[in-house]
Amino acid sequence: MSTSVADTDDQGAGRRARLIVTGALAALMAIMAAGVWGVDRFIDIERQRETQAWQVRLGIIADSRAEAVHGWLDAQFGVIKGLAENASLQIYLTELSLLSENGAAGMRESPPEARFLENLLLVAAHQGGFLAAAPPRVIPANVSQAGQAGIALTNADGSQVHATTPDMPPISGRFRAAMDEAADKGGPVLIDIFEAPAGPSIGFVVPIYGIQDDATTAGNLGFAVGQKRIGDDFHGALAQPGDISESGETLLARRDDNVVVYLSPLADGTPAFKRRLAADTPDLAAAFALDSPGGFAELIDYGGTTVLATGRAVAGTPWAVVRKIDSAEALAATDSRLTTLLYVIVSIILMVGVAVVLAWRHGTSVRTARAMGEMAVTLERFTNFSKFLTAVTDGHPAMIGAVSADTRYTFANRWVAEAGGISKDEVVGKTMAGVIGPVKAREIERVNKRMLRTLDGASPEKRFDAVEQVLTFEEAGGRRSIIQGHFLPLRGDRDFPPAVLHILQDITEAVEERDKRWRTMRKLVNTLVSLVDRRDPHAAHQSQRVAEVARDVANEMGEDPDMVRTADLTGTLMNLGKVLVPSDLLTRAGRLSDDEAAQVRESMLAGADLLENLEFDVPVAEAMRDLQEKWDGSGYPTGKKAEHIHPAARIVAVANAFVGMVSPRSYRDAIPFDKALDFLREGIEQSYDRRPVTALANLLDNRGGRDRWAHFTQRPEDLPTE
């Protein structure tokens, strides 16, 4: 009986042990299943978070491109508004309107007012880009070719054109409707993009009022009307700088009834205005952007590809900017990373499960020993990484530090410590004023506060870029100190408060050396010019005057500062080569032989050779070599033509010819300004570029050039002494 009881007890104990093991295994399996579910849920959340991040990125690009398109429209309206608000234009248009009202008896053939207005329109068209894409093609028939683009001035009801640029198309019905609307609202009206013979075009209408009048006080005198072809400058507003995505694309679209029209060229090669899709196409990205500006969704593009897309309305137009990127590209890296993460974590969970079983079997001591070993390895890695970070920051030749909101250092490299004359350990916890001084600390603190404000209310996923700023300090003794700084906001965590990372580098010597080189170069230029003037008394002040006119013409043409400086220096140094010409040739009043004239002509190239090895920051020698080239290719020395001639050389050539004609010589008097302009106009498309000649005419007629340069026509002995 006792044996039976013992057997029963053993069986019960075995059953309990099996139940415990089974329960432990079941609990372990449940934990592992919960872990897999949690990983899957985490992956879904991460994918949603990445999609939201793309919503922010695409939205930023769409906002910037919509603003760029709106800025392009403002620039075009600025050209037309500038004409409408021009006081001289308002006066002359009033006179032309009165002459028109008096009928044929009061009209004069080609009145000077109309010629002035046409010249003013031509200048504005050149500067604003209201020009035909290419010169009109000659057609072997007695039929005039329709204009492509331009600017025109009309009377008050739009029935008569007072002045127009050569390639301005006839005033069509859409322009007359826009004139009526502009007259009613008393302001500018946009004519939406339309198909024209020369391609997609856009129009602008601005009412013109009399001086001191506006829409509330009197009716308009007429209208300033502009038509412009939609070209690369317009489509370029949609290009996102720095975009490296393969499928990212920014489009411009509008709705015509129940059709979506793509107004910009598409990535598949379809030209602007040539792709039209039904607006009710399911999930069409462009239709979604037009119906829900600011919305974001996963949609279908014009090619049927699944994309992430958002849109922004362009203010004052029926257009929408659509920014899209293929979903496959946008989420490829994330999907790959999360899939890999899923496999890795599931594998880890399985391995952990196996490890738990093994650890349970081998006892607590084994698990403890293994954990201690892993902890030792982790600690060693952290220590090595800290040493590496210290070596990198201390090896960088700049002061690197992190400063919290209360201006105290939370990190600093050895250069910060040396600036304060203390050790690195002493820097942490001290204020900036106590380390680098109160003057520098006060300026840097202003930047700090601005950078820390960017962290307020920002999402944890938002990325901040470093901001570069140059700070100038006046130190004791009048010495200037210039610091170039890079500032990056740092989010706080459990151990460190929010701070700003500084990378500060003293660039005082580099800036002073640059300024010194510039002053030395200007002294050298002035010395060389004075040497030439002393050797050639007939051309005294010629270089300075040419440089002055060239500089003003370049500014009038809207050239960038580097091109203005190139024209200025080229005009100043153009006669440098005359130092190699015998003095008797320069001072001779009679006619030179062909060989002597060639020697003087080649002196300009010799001047370019003299400057070849000087380190100018603009291409002065290159421009000097092209000064004797002509627009039609008949010039010297290489026969360059048209746009192949350096732009600064084209400007200086016009300025040099003008100054030479209006300046008196020993063998002739000065040529009047008007006659000199006539000579220059006759040389357009043969010797000279049209743009600088037109800009020079506008300077003389409308910018006070005649008064400013009146002394050019006087002989040196007649000029007042200073």
Q: How would DSSP label each residue in 173-205?
A: HHHHHHHHHHHHHTS-EEEEEEEETTEEEEEEE
Q: So what's the pLDDT on residue 679?
A: 96
Q: So what's the pLDDT on residue 505?
A: 82
Q: Specify the DSSP element, H or E, that contains 438.
A: helix 438-453
* Burial degree of 222 (CB within 10 A; 0-12, 13-18, 19+): buried
d(CA 647, CA 652): 9
Q: So what's the pLDDT on residue 10?
A: 57
At 584, the pLDDT band (50, 70, 90 cuts) reads low
Any idea of the CA torsion for 367, 369, 375, 377, to the nearest 10 degrees? Answer: -120
- Helix or strand or coil: residue 429? coil
| Residue 485 contacts residue 447 (beta carbons within 8 Å) | yes
d(CA 677, CA 697): 7
Q: Specify the DSSP element, H or E, that contains 255.
A: strand 249-256
pLDDT in tens, 125-168: 999 889 876 554 444 444 445 678 999 999 888 888 889 998 89
d(CA 119, CA 126): 11
Handedness of CA 566, 571, 576, 578 (dihedral sign): positive
Amino acid found at 427: V
d(CA 90, CA 209): 7
Q: For residue 264, what are its two tokens?
A: 């910009």
Q: Is the pLDDT of residue 497 over 60?
A: yes
Half-sphere exposure of 481 (CA within 13 A, CB side): 14
* Burial degree of 527 (CB within 10 A; 0-12, 13-18, 19+): exposed
Q: So what's the pLDDT on residue 99?
A: 76
Q: Delineate the domains of the chain, giving CATH numbers in brackets.
A: 85-131+147-235 (3.30.450.20), 396-506 (3.30.450.20), 514-718 (1.10.3210.10)
| Residue 503 contacts residue 512 (beta carbons within 8 Å) | no
Torsion angles phi and psi, residue 442, rounded to 5: -65, -45
Q: Is the pLDDT of residue 589 over 60?
A: yes
Q: For residue 506, what are its two tokens?
A: 């003293």
Handedness of CA 562, 567, 570, 571 (dihedral sign): negative
Q: For residue 518, what are its two tokens?
A: 């510039």
Average pLDDT of span 393-402 = 79
Q: So what's the pLDDT on residue 466?
A: 74
- Distance from first CA to last CA of the chain, Å, rounded? 142
pLDDT in tens, 221-265: 899 999 999 988 898 889 888 888 888 999 999 999 899 999 999
d(CA 147, CA 144): 9
DSSP assignment letter at 644: G
636 versus 493: which is more confidently predicted? Answer: 636
Instruction: Tell how strand 199-208 and strand 480-490 pair up.
Output: unpaired
Q: So what's the pLDDT on residue 665?
A: 78
- Helix or strand or coil: residue 511? helix
Amino acid found at 484: Q
Handedness of CA 686, 691, 696, 702 (dihedral sign): positive
What are the DSSP calls for 347-416, one per residue?
HHHHHHHHHHHHHHHH-HHHHHHHHHHHHHHHHHHHHHHHHHHHHHHHHSSSEEEEEETTSBEEEE-HHH
Handedness of CA 418, 419, 423, 428 (dihedral sign): negative
d(CA 191, CA 185): 15
Average pLDDT of span 73-86 = 92
Q: So what's the pLDDT on residue 108?
A: 47
Q: So what's the pLDDT on residue 207?
A: 94
Strand order, beta sheet including 480-490 = 409-412, 399-404, 499-506, 480-490, 467-474
| Residue 328 contacts residue 313 (beta carbons within 8 Å) | no
Instruction: Tell how strand 409-412 and strand 467-474 pair up.
Output: unpaired
- Helix or strand or coil: residue 535? helix
The runs of H, that is alpha helices, within 85-172 are: 87-101, 112-128
- Helix or strand or coil: residue 162? strand
d(CA 218, CA 216): 6
Average pLDDT of span 574-597 = 73
pLDDT in tens, 608-662: 888 887 777 889 999 999 999 999 999 989 999 999 999 999 999 999 999 999 9
Amino acid found at 97: S
Handedness of CA 168, 174, 177, 181 (dihedral sign): negative
For all residues of the chain together, what is the average pLDDT?
83
| Residue 499 contacts residue 455 (beta carbons within 8 Å) | no
d(CA 542, CA 536): 10
The runs of H, that is alpha helices, within 536-638 are: 542-556, 561-573, 583-587, 594-611, 620-625
Q: So what's the pLDDT on residue 105?
A: 42
Choose the most confident range, by mean pLDDT, from 156-170, 327-341, 583-597, 632-646. Answer: 632-646
Q: So what's the pLDDT on residue 217?
A: 73
